Structure 1
Amino acid sequence: MVLLLESGFDSDIFTFSSLINGLCRAHMLDDAFDCFPEMFQWNVTPSDVTYNILIRSLCIIGDVARALKLARKMQSAGISADVFSFNALIQCFCRMKKIEDAKKLLVAMLTLGLDPDRYTYGAFVKVFFESERLDEAIGVFHSMEAKGCFPDPYTCNLVLDSLVKKGYLEDARDIIKRCSRRSTKAVKCRQIGRWFSNHGDTVEELLSGDVTEHQAVNPFIHTTLCAGKVVLIIWWDM
C-alpha cells in the first residue's frame, strides 16, 4: 500500500476501500486487514463502505465472531450499521442454521429503524424451509411480499419446490397465482407441473379466475418438457 501511495495514488477513502475490496475478492483477506490500520496512518477514516466490505468478506468465510467484533468496532467509531451490514451477518447466521441469533439481529435492525429488504427476508425463507419450519417460511414469504420485497427467482423456486414436496399444494397454488401477475423473467420450477397434474390440475384450471385463458398459456405461464420431465415455467417480475 505504501508503494502505491508513494507512486502518486491519492491517499483517500476511495483508494483504500477499492484496494481492500479487491484484496477481499481475491481471497487475500489477511492482506486486506493489513491495509485497514494503514488508513489511520495516512489520516484516512474508514467509512461504512470500508467496514461493510470486510464484514461481508468475513461472513462469506463463516467467521461470524470476527465479523461481529468488527461491526461493534464500527459502531464505536460512530458509524451506524446499515442494511448491508445486517444482511451479511444475518445471512451468515442463517447459513450456519443459527436462527435465533439471526432473529436477534433482525430485531436490532428494526430497532435502528432499518427496513429489511428481499435479501434479509430471503435468508430467513431459505433457512426455515431447509429446517422444515414451513409455516414460518410461508409467513416470512408473505410478509416480504406485503412489504413490496418481491422474491428473486431462486427464492421462488425454493419455496415452490419445498411446498409441493411437503404436500402444501394450496399454498403453492396461491404463490403461483401471485407470480402469474408479474412478468419479466422466467423461473423453471422442477417437476412442479408433474405434481399438479397428478392432483388433477391443468395450468388453466390452476389460474382460473385470476387471468384470462390467453394469459394463462402465453406468455405468463406454461408447461414444457425438459429432459423427459414436465416443467412449469413462470414469468417472474424482478
Structure 2
Amino acid sequence: EKAFQIYYSMEKIGLSPDVYTIGALINGLCSKGNMLGASKLFKSMEEMNLHPNDVIYNTMIKGYCKEGSSYRALRLLREMIDHRLVPSVASYSSTIGVLCRDGKLKEAEGLVEEMAGLGLRPSNSVCNLLSEAKEDDG
C-alpha cells in the first residue's frame, strides 16, 4: 500500500517511474500473492514505454507458479525468451514443478530439454518431481 502511495505521489508531481520502481512494486504485489495487481502493473509497463527486464519476468513467473497457474507461468517464460531474455534456473524449475503438479509431463520434460540446450542444469528437486510425475503417469 505504501509503495503505491509513493508511486501515485510521483505521478502527481510529474515524475515517471522507471523499470526498477515498477519492478519493486511488482515484487511486493507478487510476494503478497496479489497476482491480479502485479499483472495489471506488468501490462501497464508498455503504456509507460517501459520494457520488463529479466528480474521482473522471473518475479512474475515465480508468482504465477506459487499461485499454481502453469499456463500463465509458461506463457511468460515463452514471452521472456521471445524478448531475448534468459529465464533463471529458478523460473524454469518453478514452471516445471507447477507443470508436473498439473499433470503436464510432456511440457515439463520439454522445459528440461530446453534448459539443457541453454547449458542450465535442473535441481535435484526438479528431477525428483519429474520422476514422481512419470510414476504417477504410469
TM-score normalised to the size of structure 2? Answer: 0.78
Aligned residues: 130
Note the 1:114-129 alignment, pairs <5 A: 114-116=120-122, 120-126=123-129, 128-129=131-132
Q: In the alignment, is residue 37 of structure 1 matched against residue 43 of structure 2?
A: yes
Q: Which residue of 1 aligns with 2:20?
A: 14
Higher strand share: 1
| CA distance in structure 1 between the partners assigned to 2:72 and 2:115 by the alignment | 19
Once superposed, which parts of structure 1, at least 4 consecutive aligned residues long, lie more than 3 Å away? 7-10, 97-100, 129-133
> Does the 8 Å CA contact 2:65/2:98 hold for their aligned counterparts?
yes
Q: Distance in 1 between matches of 2:116 and 2:9?
A: 41
Q: Secondary structure at the match of 2:17?
A: coil
Q: Could you list the per-position Cα deviations for residues 60-90 of structure 1 after superposition, in whole angstroms to 9, with x for gaps in the alignment?
A: 2221112211222212222122312211111
Give the distance between the partners of 1:92 and 1:109, measured in 2 at CA.
Answer: 16
Q: Which has the larger radius of gyration?
A: 1
Could you say which structure has the greater relative contact order, defined with CA pairs below 8 angstroms and 6 or more residues apart? Answer: 2
The reply on whether 1:60 has 2:72 as its aligned counterpart is no
CA shift, 1:24, in A, is 1.3
Aligned partners of 1:41, 1:129: CA distance in 2, in Å?
Answer: 43
Q: Which runs of 5+ in 2 are unaligned?
A: none
Equivalence for 2:10: 5
Q: Which runs of 5+ in 1 are unaligned?
A: 134-238
Distance 1:129 1:74 in 2: 28
Tell me how far apart the structure 2 counterparts of residues 4 and 50 of structure 1 sit (CA, whole Å): 22
Q: Is the 8 A contact 1:95 1:127 kept in 2?
A: no
Q: For the residues of structure 2 that align with 1:4 and 1:25, how far apart are their CA atoms?
A: 23
TM-score when normalising by structure 1: 0.48
Partner of 1:92 in structure 2? 98
Q: 1:132 to 1:74 in 2, by over 3 A?
A: closer
CA distance in structure 2 between the aligned counterparts of 1:124 and 1:101, rounded to whole angstroms? 14
Shift of 1:4: 4.3
Larger helix fraction of residues: 2
- Report percent identity of matched pairs: 32
The CA distance in 1 between the partners of 2:51 and 2:102, in whole Å, is: 32
CA–CA distance in 2 between the matches of 1:132 and 1:77? 36
- SS of the aligned residue for 1:14 comes to helix
Q: Where does 1:135-146 land on structure 2 (aligned, <5 Å)?
A: none
The whole-number CA distance in structure 2 between the counterparts of 1:38 and 1:6 is 14
